[in-house]
Amino acid sequence: MPRTRSLAFAELKLGIIAVVALFLSAALIFAVGGGGFFWQQYPLKTVFPNVAGIKAGSPVRISGIEKGAVTQVELVPAGAEVWFTVEDDMRALVTTASTASIGSISLLGEGAVDIVAAPEGAPLPNWGYVATGPAAGSIAEMTAEATVGLNEARQLISDLRAGKGTMGKLFTDEAVYQNVNALVTAAERVARNVADGRGSLGKLTRDDKLYNELQASVANLNAMTLRIRNGEGSLGQLMNDPALAQNLTSTTANLDAVTGRLSKGEGTMGKLLTDEALYKRLDDMTGRLDALVSQLNAGKGTAGQLLQDQRLYENMNQAASELRGLVGDIRKDPKKYLNVKVSIF
């Protein structure tokens, strides 16, 4: 009886040791494959429109280094929700500024969750959501850019087929095609004329005399600019003479001073520009002058009648003529008209 009890206790110890060994083996496998023991990890979530083969056990990489594993994938209205765990010492790197994307670990398409480390953000709590977005330089980003490019190319081809824009009209409008064809024909004709030496451009390419004259003109222009640069002539002195530049500067300064005085109301012109009373006096004088001119035009007053009454003008003209004749007679015979008597008392 004691022997049977000893055998049963030995079997129990063997079973306990086997269970502990299995538990330790499972924990070791989990630690090696999942990035550590469960107490060294913390859970997070993210949502993808399409997980592209991500499943439980898929690796989670942070900046390309495997630091966790996917634990569960569930369908949600927005797509697929991925639960995963990462090592606890990654809290400072997986933050609110991080983004998660779907990557691959082989050419066979085995998926992985790639997370961009962003230490500038705030750490995420347990079961916090990591924002999704394409990683820079990833296949997903290149695929998205290629898709956008293909869509734009497809839209461009559709516009061309619909005859939109200049190129579309060129492909679909017969009149535009004919105009372009006529333009090309004209360009070919011009090129042929130039090659044959016709016209000014053709003569320039063929006639050495015309080329020499053009070269001489360019040489004269170079000589003129050289003289100007050396300060020769009026234009050269204007550009190179410091005294002339100072005179111009002084003239500009004087002009600024004059305009400043005018703005301040100094002098007659300044008062005329700024003094309201002087302006009113000039305005009143102009009004009176206008009234006087109006009266003259209406024939009012002596001056007005003189301007408007033809008879008065003729009488005055006649009187002036008679006075001129009297003066002439007095000059001829002064004694006849001037008789001076002197008497002494």
Average pLDDT over residues 174-180: 77
Residue 250 is assigned to a structural domain of this protein: no
Average pLDDT over residues 308-320: 76
pLDDT digit string, tens, across residues 214-258:
788 888 888 888 887 787 777 777 777 777 777 777 888 888 888
Mean pLDDT of the chain: 77
Same domain, 46 and 99: yes
Q: What is the pTM of this model?
A: 0.36
Same domain, 125 and 64: yes
The CATH number given to whatever domain includes residue 75 is 2.40.30
Same domain, 132 and 45: yes
Residue 27 is assigned to a structural domain of this protein: yes
pLDDT digit string, tens, across residues 11-58:
666 677 777 777 777 666 655 554 455 567 899 999 998 888 888 989
- The per-residue pLDDT for 74 is 92
> Looking at the predicted structure, is the pLDDT value of residue 202 above 80?
no
pLDDT digit string, tens, across residues 88-121:
888 999 999 999 988 877 656 678 899 999 999 9
Residue 246 is assigned to a structural domain of this protein: no
- Of 3-12, 17-26, 120-129, the least confident: 3-12
SS (H, E, C) the chain: CHHHHHHHHHHHHHHHHHHHHHHHHHHHHHHHHHCCCHHHEEEEEEEECCCCCCCCCCEEEECCEEEEEEEEEEEECCEEEEEEEEEHHHCCCCECCCEEEEEECCCCCCEEEEECCCCCCCECCCCEECEECCCCCCHHHHHHHHHHHHHHHHHHHHHHHHCCHHHHHHHHCHHHHHHHHHHHHHHHHHHHHHHCCCHHHHHHHHCHHHHHHHHHHHHHHHHHHHHHHCCCHHHHHHHHCHHHHHHHHHHHHHHHHHHHHHHHCCHHHHHHHHCHHHHHHHHHHHHHHHHHHHHHHHCCHHHHHHHHCHHHHHHHHHHHHHHHHHHHHHHHCHHHHCCCCCCCC
Residue 238 is assigned to a structural domain of this protein: no
- The per-residue pLDDT for 131 is 92
- The per-residue pLDDT for 256 is 82
Average pLDDT over residues 299-321: 74
Residue 213 is assigned to a structural domain of this protein: no
Q: How many structural domains comprise the chain? A: 5
- The per-residue pLDDT for 332 is 79
Residue 60 is assigned to a structural domain of this protein: yes
pLDDT digit string, tens, across residues 251-295:
888 888 888 777 777 777 777 777 777 778 777 888 888 877 777
User: Can you give the residue range of the structural domain that contains 184?
Assistant: 174-205
Same domain, 130 and 143: no
Same domain, 154 and 186: no
Residue 57 is assigned to a structural domain of this protein: yes
Residue 268 is assigned to a structural domain of this protein: no
* Confidence band for 1, pLDDT divided at 50, 70 and 90: very low
pLDDT digit string, tens, across residues 57-80:
899 999 888 999 999 999 999 889
- The per-residue pLDDT for 136 is 55
